[in-house]
Amino acid sequence: MSKLQPARGTRDIYGDEARRMTAVVETFRRVASTYGFEELSTPIFEFTDVFRRPLGEASDVVSKEMYTFEDRGGEEITLRPEFTAGVCRAFISNGMQQNLPCRLMSNGPAFRYERPQKGRYRQFHQINAELLGPENPEADVEQIAMAWRLLRELGLGDKVILHLNTLGDVESRVAYREALVAYLEAHKDKLSEDSVRRLETNPLRILDSKDDGDKVIVADAPLLSEHLNEASRAFFESVKAGLEAVGVPYEHDERLVRGLDYYTHTAFEFVTTELGAQGTVLAGGRYDGLIEKLGGPAVAGVGWAGGIERLAMLSELDLVDVRPVMIMPMGEAATLKAFALAEDMREAGLTVLADRSGNLKKRLTRASKANAKFAIILGDNELEAGNVMVKELDSGEQWEVPFGGLVASITA
């Protein structure tokens, strides 16, 4: 290999992109903490069953996209494809059911083997929020309201639309599945290959097919809303009333489904038109049976995840332009003193760079390229007098100050 490159679907993150992604995470932490959420960090890899059991063998994630391998001990391990299953495993493993409700926020990388495209990678990063315990629709409203607040803080209020639907309870979904399968069987010869496979395993996913032929067939398919029982209707009406009460605008999208088996009742997506076909920037829903599928107690849950790369691409956060101070010792004795002065400035919260080579002219040129605000010059004469020379690079103004007055002089 003549030139080393990152593996397909991965890339190096640095510079403004890294700063933007960090700003998204920091904003998420700040917003989520106002709702009482606490940080949870789960392993990047888990035993494969942690994901296979709740996500379902028929889901695209399990059947096509998971990075699964056998480790040296013979255990089957999978890199995290999403957060919710791992968070619920941690909930069970750590006995968190003793402290319900649990409000847990996480962030970090996840991995799926799929075709890379704008805003989508094989190693990507997510923010994730899970509220475990409450079975009432008010919990769904709180989670969606928190997501909406985050998006507005990121400057995306005018760039996204909330799509909202209900998947109903188990009884409603069984009734709808029967009606949907009966309809799709009558059009089986016109369905795409993927949809024919899903017809046997996960027919609701056909509603979300991107195949043009499938879209024509799905357009006339039965609606889930026509098969909701009274309990499911009442739950959804409460969610909509709550969103209206807190001022979260939404569109009822009756074709919205979730790609994973554990969802029930509320499903939602915040969608933008600014990222092409992959327009979902944040999505989630309710998953009341998931913890039981993992072998835990019957504990309800509702949560969401957002792609950090996509949010960073769209966000209008003002990145703080930190201008460093450049300290320039001239000589060995001055270099030792410069170490101490640099630490004093850092203690005061300043960003300090040191330039110890070349003549003064070259050093000042490098300081300008680094967008430094001040150059701190320390030579033998300054060292003997107990002073440093401070040069403000924008104006060219310079002055001498005693060592003990340096921090006050440049932070005034």
pLDDT at 4: 85
CA distance 308 to 345: 33
End-to-end CA distance of the chain: 54
pLDDT digits 0-9 by tens, 154-185? 999 999 999 999 999 988 888 888 999 999 99
pLDDT at 170: 85
CA distance 147 to 181: 34
pLDDT digits 0-9 by tens, 242-286? 999 999 999 999 888 775 656 889 999 999 977 665 589 999 999
- 126 annotated to bind ligand: yes
How would DSSP label each residue in 170-236? HHHHHHHHHHHHHHHHTTGGGS-HHHHHHHHH-GGGGGG---HHHHHHHTTSPPGGGG--HHHHHHH
pLDDT at 1: 47
- 67 annotated to bind ligand: no
pLDDT digits 0-9 by tens, 291-348? 998 999 999 999 999 999 999 999 988 777 889 999 999 988 999 999 999 999 999 9
| Half-sphere exposure (Cβ direction) of 374: Cα atoms closer than 13 Å | 22
pLDDT at 56: 65
pLDDT digits 0-9 by tens, 190-242? 899 888 888 887 788 888 788 888 889 988 899 888 999 999 999 999 999 99
- 83 annotated to bind ligand: yes
- 280 annotated to bind ligand: no
Strand order from edge to edge, sheet including 76-79: 45-47, 76-79, 68-70
How would DSSP label each residue in 285-352? EE-TTHHHHTT----EEEEEEEEHHHHHHH-------PPPEEEEE-SHHHHHHHHHHHHHHHHTT--E
pLDDT at 126: 97
The pLDDT of residue 138 is above 90: yes
pLDDT at 110: 96
Sign of CA dihedral 279, 158, 28, 205: negative
CA distance 51 to 47: 8
Q: Is the separation of the CB atoms in 88 and 300 below 8 Å?
A: no
The average pLDDT across 120-129 equals 93
pLDDT at 278: 59
The pLDDT of residue 144 is above 60: yes
Strand boundaries in 59-181, DSSP class E: 68-70, 76-79, 102-111, 123-133, 161-166
Q: What is the pTM of this model?
A: 0.87
Show the domains of the chain with their CATH numbers. Answer: 15-169+229-314 (3.30.930.10), 325-411 (3.40.50.800)
- 112 annotated to bind ligand: yes
Q: Is the separation of the CB atoms in 166 and 228 below 8 Å?
A: yes
What rounded mean pLDDT belongs to the chain? Answer: 91
- 258 annotated to bind ligand: yes
Q: Is the separation of the CB atoms in 38 and 94 below 8 Å?
A: no
- 278 annotated to bind ligand: no
Compute how many other C-beta atoms are within 10 angstroms of the C-beta atom of residue 146.
21
- Amino acid at site 316: E
The average pLDDT across 382-388 equals 93
Burial class (CB in 10 A: 0-12, 13-18, 19+), 319: exposed
pLDDT digits 0-9 by tens, 75-115? 999 999 999 999 999 999 999 999 999 999 999 999 999 87
